[in-house]
Amino acid sequence: MQVQDIMTIYPVYIRVGADMRRAAEIISISEVSDLMVIDHDSKFVGVLSEGDLIRAILPGFDEVLRAGGTLNDAFKFFVQKGHDLVNRPIDPLIIHNAITLKSTDDIAQAAVVMIEKQIRRLPVVDDGKLMGTVSRSDICRAVIYYA
């Protein structure tokens, strides 16, 4: 069975140059942990992970200590740092050398890559164009319904 048989054909994406606020909104609404990033010609650029977005906003230990050292101080600093960064572009956070699949790849290959690299969702890219995504749950569903 090939990736094209199980992939999500309407992937959640964001365009290069979007700001962190927009990325946070899309992640929140779509409930995905990875956004596919495309350019203005709809070519695949990379992946923006929810974790990288949060880490960009999350205060460091030294920053928490300077803010007062309590969890309450840390949360206030986190909120303030997020407020200060929301209009910054996502571009520095994009994973440009993301692992991708082709629509004709075998789903077993996708499953092995996901497990070995601890990746939950992989972009499916043909000739530079984002065609869809494959998640671990897509593979589980394939096993249940097509086995």
Question: What pTM was computed for the model?
Answer: 0.84
Mind listing the pLDDT tens digit for each residue in 27-60? 999 989 899 999 999 999 999 999 998 888 777 7
pLDDT at 68: 76
Q: What is the CA radius of gyration of the chain?
A: 18
Strand pairing report for 13-15 and 34-38: parallel
Mind listing the pLDDT tens digit for each residue in 105-135? 999 999 999 999 999 999 999 999 999 999 9
Reference 146, options 15, 4, 6; nearest CA is 6
